[in-house]
Amino acid sequence: MDTPELWQFTSSHFNEKARWALDFKRVPHIRHSLIPGFHVATVKRMTGKTHVPVLKLDGNAISDSSKIIEALERVYPEPALYPADPDQRRRALELEDFYDEELGPYIRRWIFHVILPYPKFVRAAFVSHASPAAQLAQRAMSPLIGVVMRRQMDINPATAEVARSKTMAAMDGLERELQPSGYLVGDRFTVADLTAAALLSPLVRPPEFPYKAVAPLPEPLVKIRDAVSTHPAFRWTLQTYREHRGESAEVATEASAFRIKRDASRTATTGR
Ligand SMILES: N[C@@H](CCC(=O)N[C@@H](CS)C(=O)NCC(=O)O)C(=O)O
């Protein structure tokens, strides 16, 4: 079988879900990091849709993080992300679905509302891996991209407030859902834990998240993080990343080797 290939946005939580599953299963894979806004033609050619992540596995282009994990479970069953027990498996998949629908889109809308006024930070988070020419093009389009993103994701002060309260409700629910083991289902790490932690990453910003934004966090985001940093779901996310995020299984290509070297030299003076 050819080496699996992942088309992704670096700083996206749904992409982090698929990436984490590949890394957890130690599946050597190639990553293609796309620039939001400039990704459409590439992704449409593969899937007929525009969203990432997309995984090319055994000749098939699979879009949607849950479908990607389902396919990985089939092809690389160990280590498993789905529980063997049928009831626990059903519950883990229900929770994956719940966080995909009730947390992912809302936390994204809330956090983008907070960071879009800081184009330098947005660029650092999403574009810093790209070639200098692509970065220049993105910079020129930057004001337009902000407008388009607000429209596409329905971001305005009122929808952002709803998104904030939906995110907090999901975090409160997660606290109630945690089992005595510290996991969401049964007594081991499953797809439910991976999904909840990955989708909370834009707020929690765990140090193990694989891509660093080479710019300081915008002040309003610092304040929000400080305010929720004692929430049990926030602390649980940090712990889950610490214990389970593990190492990247990305196969180094010339482009990724350049990015990794450059990121390492920049992280000393910047935050995520
Ligand atoms: N349900 C999908 C959601 C994927 C998604 O929303 N991807 C966003 C990035 S976080 C995207 O590609 N947006 C650009 C677009 O749709 O054109 C999944 O789980 O993969």
Which of the 8 DSSP states describes residue 29? B
- Both 122 and 224 in one domain: the answer is yes
Distance in Å, CA 55 to ligand 1 centroid: 13
In a structure prediction context, what are the per-residue pLDDT tens digits for the chain, which is 272 residues long?
Answer: 899 999 999 999 999 999 999 999 999 999 999 988 889 999 999 999 999 999 999 999 999 999 999 999 999 999 999 999 999 999 999 999 999 999 999 999 999 999 999 988 988 888 877 777 777 777 777 777 778 889 989 999 999 999 999 999 999 999 999 999 999 999 999 999 999 999 999 999 999 999 988 889 999 999 999 999 999 999 999 999 999 999 999 998 766 555 545 544 544 333 34
Looking at the structure, tell me whether residues 104 and 188 fall in a common domain. yes
What was the pLDDT predicted at 128?
Answer: 76
In angstroms, rounded to a whole number, what is the distance separating the alpha carbons of residues 85 and 62? 26
* Whether residue 100 is found in the same domain as residue 220: yes
Place of tokens 């947005």: 122
Q: Is 66 in the pocket of ligand 1 (CB under 6 A)?
A: yes
CATH number reported for the structural domain that contains residue 226 in this entry: 1.20.1050.10
What pLDDT does 129 receive? Answer: 72
Preceding peptide of 53 cis, ω within 30°: yes
Looking only at the bridges linking them, the beta strands covering 54-57 and 60-63 are antiparallel
Residues 91 and 219 in one domain: yes
Beta carbon of 107 within 6 Å of any ligand 1 atom: no
pLDDT of residue 271: 38
d(CA 134, ligand 1 centre) in Å: 21
Residue 255's pLDDT is 60
259 is written with which tokens? 């990015």
Q: Are 210 and 126 in a shared domain?
A: yes
For position 256, what pLDDT does the model report?
Answer: 58
One domain, residues 152 and 170: yes
Q: Are residues 58 and 99 in the same domain?
A: no
* Test site for ligand 1: of 46, 47, 52, most ligand atoms within 8 A of the Cβ: 52
CA of 49 to the centre of ligand 1 (A): 10
**Which pTM value belongs to this model?**
0.92
**Whether residues 166 and 184 fall in one domain:** yes
Between CA 63 and CA 6 the distance in angstroms is 10
CA angle 142, 49, 211 (to 5 degrees): 50
Helix (H) or strand (E) holding 258: helix 254-266
Nearest CA to ligand 1 atom 20: 64
Tell whether 113 and 44 lie within a shared domain: no
Nearest CA to ligand 1 atom 18: 64
Alpha-carbon distances of 90 from 63, 185, 208, 237, rounded to whole Å: 22, 10, 29, 22
41 burial type by CB count under 10 A (0-12 exposed, 13-18 middle, 19+ buried): exposed
For ligand 1, whether the C-beta of 47 sits within 6 Å is: no
Specify whether 94 is located in the same domain as 48. Answer: no
- Rounded to 5°, angle at Cα 250 from 216 and 120: 20
Say how many domains are in the chain: 2
Domain boundaries, position 151: 86-244
